[in-house]
């Protein structure tokens, strides 16, 4: 995030981070606060990368 914010401080959307769903609620709240207050992220679209090597 720091590298992106250095290029453009307006971050419209963050995609990914679904692996964080297992984090405890206080950690999720901390992450959300940092994204909102420090990085000014407009929206979050939870997701997880797919891969050709993923098993179906």
Distance of alpha carbon 11 from alpha carbon 41, whole angstroms? 5
- 43 forms beta bridges with 13
- Report domain extents, the chain: 1-22+41-49
Judge contact between 12 and 42, C-beta under 8 A.
yes
Tokens linked to 31 = 């992450």
pLDDT digits (tens, 9 = 90+) for 7-30: 887 888 888 777 777 888 899 889
pLDDT digits (tens, 9 = 90+) for 29-56: 898 899 889 888 888 887 776 665 555 5
User: What's the alpha-carbon Rg for the chain, to the nearest Å?
Assistant: 13
Judge contact between 5 and 39, C-beta under 8 A.
yes
């Amino acid at each position: 995030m720091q590298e992106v914010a250095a290029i453009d401080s307006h971050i419209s959307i963050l995609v990914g981070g679904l692996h964080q769903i297992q984090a405890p609620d206080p950690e999720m709240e901390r992450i959300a606060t940092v994204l909102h207050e420090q990085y000014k992220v407009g929206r979050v679209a939870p997701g997880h990368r797919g891969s050709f090597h993923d098993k179906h």
